[in-house]
């Protein structure tokens, strides 16, 4: 069995394999000590662990912590510099343990990182965490090797066309994860707080104040990593039926398993929703704590769309990808919550709460007898599927003007991607990552094998059926250290955005705005045209317009038209404003797409 130490981010697990041990329980304190001892080795292997995402300064060289960076960012005193220098040297040489003299001096629990933290003031510790945490992008396993001297760390925030500023009067939130509007409420916003299960309403954005309309803290259960309250959508006829839908993690009836749950709630006449009004529609057992899904929204057709990740871990290890007759993972579903005439009952499945929804008759795999050239049983097909081949679809949205569905799919080892989703689309995972063939990476650099309690990775000898083609991404970018020389478009964890249709920033009208959670880069993708299958019929250009790490959602202010972002790291909702001294940076052309 593998003992793993995890750092929670809102997007992915940071799994630090520590050592192999027999099947027995270790006391808590020794386990924590071992976790602390393993952290410096892991941190030293990460590229640009303290990057320019927050302060605009250049990060340390890949694979090493830089004293110069810490000195500048934290305003270290000469005494602190003298004490920290030998500790950094230990880390960068791959050593974990401190000497007895160092332990006596620092009072550390035995790890160099802990010793450095002990030297810092409270204010410096806060700044250190703010700088470091956004740059801990979990890959479901390290990428084996530091940066390759290619690509760039990206431009400093203050050189770009736009900057972020606090919105909503500077109100603070506990890990804000989503910002949405409700039909018929032209001045209000709703914000989800990931871990405390609160649905917050801002009744009037011009006079912002918080009102809790629903508290699901008693139901959400295990909150580690990407679990929690994840997405919300209001029924198109909300002003009459007062119905809204939530996607969140909970526990099954006996509390033995974690589930991803889609449920309906009713808003009361007092503006509060009673938790007892909950009606579950789908409760899908999910064995991992990452890739729990990314978005919930009603489409222009009035149907409810929901995206699901591949159940988590890494490499598609739970073997849910490229399947339509197993569970509800690695794709997007489309269901009829109004059960209109002509819609069909879903095929039976343990996750489905019978009678709570139907399936639109024009869903692409209704009646399917084959998938990817192989036979399937129509009675076992998850006819709810609208699109497949997604890894971790983190945030997507419909363009209110064109109806195009834009999605950001978080990558594994190399590539992040932007997709245009259409019915019947297959976006490749895990035969493909971005526009490259995906190859199960070798275990190197100290990576341990999977635990016996975890299924093995997909068969590396699995062969893509002849003639199978995938939908091409609209735009891709590499992880740090993998981009071509001169390409500044890098990051580790895409946050899908919105097509901006506001009037506050005319220059961005019609552009698709999206970001990377860890590098902090924010891009504007030029207005495009596409056919009904999501194939582009116009040229794509992409510009880096701003930089702010920790962004997990986008929205548009219903009154001012401001472009809003949810910053989970800072606990704030922010707006983009024009930088008076911008120096635009145009992205390098995307390489030709390929069908591996």
Q: How far apart are CA 423 and CA 339, in angstroms?
A: 20
Q: Could you read off the pLDDT of 425-440 as tens digits, one per residue?
A: 999 998 899 999 887 6
Considering the four listed CATH numbers 3.30.200.20, 1.20.140.10, 2.40.30.160, 2.120.10.30, the one that applies to the domain covering 157-586 is 2.120.10.30
Q: Average pLDDT of the chain? A: 78
Q: How far apart are CA 542 and CA 525, in angstroms?
A: 4
The domain ranges of the chain are 2-135, 157-586
**517 near 11, Cβ under 8 Å?**
yes
- Take residue 51 and report the two structure tokens written for it: 């990057």
From the list 548, 551, 549, 529, the residue with the least C-alpha distance to 539 is 529
Q: Could you read off the pLDDT of 283-316 as tens digits, one per residue?
A: 999 988 889 877 999 999 999 999 999 998 888 8
**Does the pLDDT value for residue 142 go beyond 50?**
no
Identify which has the larger pLDDT, 226 or 593. 226
- Distance between alpha carbon 409 and the CA centroid of its chain, in Å? 8
Reported as a pLDDT band with limits 50, 70 and 90, residue 145 is very low
**Does the pLDDT value for residue 123 go beyond 90?**
no
Per-residue CA distances from 79 to 88, 100, 119 (Å): 15, 20, 10
Reported as a pLDDT band with limits 50, 70 and 90, residue 450 is very low
Which pLDDT score, from 0 to 100, does residue 63 have?
A: 31
Reported as a pLDDT band with limits 50, 70 and 90, residue 81 is confident
**Does the pLDDT value for residue 163 go beyond 80?**
yes
Q: Could you read off the pLDDT of 173-198 as tens digits, one per residue?
A: 999 999 999 999 999 999 999 999 99
Portion of the chain with pLDDT greater than 70, in percent: 72
Say which residues have a Cβ less than 8 Å from residue 419's Cβ, sequence separation at least 6.
Answer: 390, 406, 407, 408, 409, 425, 427, 471, 473, 474, 534
Q: How far apart are CA 576 and CA 395, in angstroms?
A: 19
Q: How far apart are CA 471 and CA 388, in angstroms?
A: 10
Task: Count, in order, helices (H) and strands (E) of the chain.
Answer: 8, 32
Q: How far apart are CA 211 and CA 185, in angstroms?
A: 15
Question: Helices in 151-237 by DSSP H: which ranges?
Answer: 217-220
Q: What is the DSSP letter of 344?
A: B
């Amino acid at each position: 069995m593998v003992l793993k130490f995890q750092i929670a981010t809102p997007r992915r697990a940071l799994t630090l394999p520590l050592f192999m041990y027999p099947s027995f329980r270790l006391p808590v304190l020794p386990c924590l000590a071992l976790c602390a001892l393993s952290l410096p080795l892991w941190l030293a292997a990460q590229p640009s662990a303290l990057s320019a995402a927050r302060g605009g300064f250049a990060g340390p060289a890949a694979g090493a912590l830089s004293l110069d960076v810490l000195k500048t960012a934290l305003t270290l005193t000469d005494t602190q510099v003298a004490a920290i220098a030998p500790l950094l040297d230990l880390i960068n040489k791959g050593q974990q343990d401190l000497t007895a003299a160092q332990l006596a001096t620092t009072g550390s629990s035995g790890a160099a990182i802990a010793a450095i933290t002990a030297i810092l003031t409270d204010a410096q510790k806060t700044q250190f965490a703010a700088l470091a945490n956004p740059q801990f992008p979990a890959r479901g396993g390290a990428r084996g090797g530091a940066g390759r001297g290619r690509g760039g760390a990206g431009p400093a925030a203050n050189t770009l066309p736009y900057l972020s500023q606090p919105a909503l009067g500077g109100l603070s939130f506990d890990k804000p994860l989503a910002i949405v509007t409700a039909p018929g409420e032209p001045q209000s916003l709703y914000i989800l707080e990931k871990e405390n299960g609160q649905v917050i309403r801002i009744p009037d954005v011009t006079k912002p104040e918080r009102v809790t309309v629903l508290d699901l803290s008693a139901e959400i259960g295990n909150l580690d990593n990407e679990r929690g309250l994840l997405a919300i959508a209001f029924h198109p006829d909300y002003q009459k039926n007062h119905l809204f839908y939530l996607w969140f993690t909970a526990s099954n009836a006996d509390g033995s398993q974690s589930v991803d749950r889609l449920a309906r709630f009713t808003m009361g006449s007092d503006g509060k929703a009673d938790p007892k009004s909950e009606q579950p529609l789908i409760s899908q057992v999910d064995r991992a704590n990452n890739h729990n899904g990314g978005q919930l929204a009603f489409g222009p057709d009035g149907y409810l769309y929901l995206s699901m990740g591949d159940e988590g871990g890494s490499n598609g290890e739970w073997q849910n990808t490229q399947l339509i007759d197993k569970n509800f993972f690695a794709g997007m579903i489309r269901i009829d919550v109004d059960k209109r005439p002509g819609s069909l009952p879903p095929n039976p499945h343990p996750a489905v709460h019978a009678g709570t929804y139907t399936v639109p008759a024009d869903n692409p795999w209704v009646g399917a007898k084959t998938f990817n050239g192989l036979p399937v049983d129509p009675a076992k097909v998850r006819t709810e599927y609208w699109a497949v081949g997604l890894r971790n679809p983190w945030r997507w949205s419909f363009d209110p003007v064109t109806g195009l569905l834009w999605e950001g799919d978080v990558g594994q080892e190399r590539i992040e991607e932007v997709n245009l989703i259409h019915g019947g689309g297959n976006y490749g995972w895990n035969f493909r990552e971005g526009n490259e063939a995906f190859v199960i990476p070798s275990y190197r650099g100290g990576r341990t094998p999977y635990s016996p309690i975890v299924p093995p990775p997909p068969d590396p000898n699995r062969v893509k059926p002849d003639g199978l083609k995938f939908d091409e991404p609209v735009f891709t970018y590499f992880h740090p250290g993998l981009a071509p020389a001169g390409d500044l478009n890098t990051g580790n964890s895409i946050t899908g955005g919105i097509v901006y249709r506001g009037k506050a920033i005319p220059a961005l009208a019609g552009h698709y705005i999206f970001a990377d959670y860890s590098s902090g880069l924010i891009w504007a993708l030029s207005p495009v045209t596409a056919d009904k299958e999501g194939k582009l019929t116009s040229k794509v250009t992409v510009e880096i317009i701003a930089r702010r790490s920790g962004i997990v959602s986008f929205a548009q202010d219903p009154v001012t038209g401001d472009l809003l972002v949810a910053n989970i790291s800072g606990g704030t909702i922010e707006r983009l404003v024009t930088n008076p001294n911008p120096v635009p940076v145009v992205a390098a052309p995307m390489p030709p797409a390929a069908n591996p």
